[in-house]
Amino acid sequence: MPEMTFSVRWPDGRVEDCYSPSLVMHDHLTAGATYTVGDLVARSTEALAIASDRVRAKFGFACTSAAATTEQLHRSASAFRSEDLVEVVRMWPPLPQEHA
């Protein structure tokens, strides 16, 4: 199961690296895009729950790293207003490019 990291720039300028056990984050966030803090947390929480479910389906147990990332994002977001803006700086690895 491919894993990935994504980096977000919080409203105070701090960049935080986050882990996902699945590339599913690409279905919910876009590198270079800006979201409200509330939207980023909601999208990330949903994506990380899906990622954890994929780990459970494959290995028989939930992914504690996905839960830890969700908690990390909630903790960081609590310092800001829900309508403040946060940027997804980077998502690695990127999705493979489709060949024409």
Look at residue 97 and tell me if it is in a domain: no
What's the whole-model pTM score? Answer: 0.90
pLDDT tens for each residue of 54-92:
999 999 998 999 999 999 999 999 999 999 999 999 999
Model pLDDT, residue 99: 41
Model pLDDT, residue 77: 98
Look at residue 100 and tell me if it is in a domain: no
Count of domains observed in the chain: 1
What the block records as the tokens of 46 is 């949903």
What the block records as the tokens of 95 is 């999705």
**Are 56 and 66 in contact, with CB atoms under 8 Å apart?**
no
pLDDT tens for each residue of 66-75:
999 999 999 9
- Domain extent for 54: 4-92
Look at residue 98 and tell me if it is in a domain: no
Q: Which residue carries 């403040």 as its tokens?
A: 84
Model pLDDT, residue 1: 67
Mean of per-residue pLDDT scores for the chain? 93
Sheet of 34-36, strands arranged across: 15-20, 4-9, 85-92, 34-36
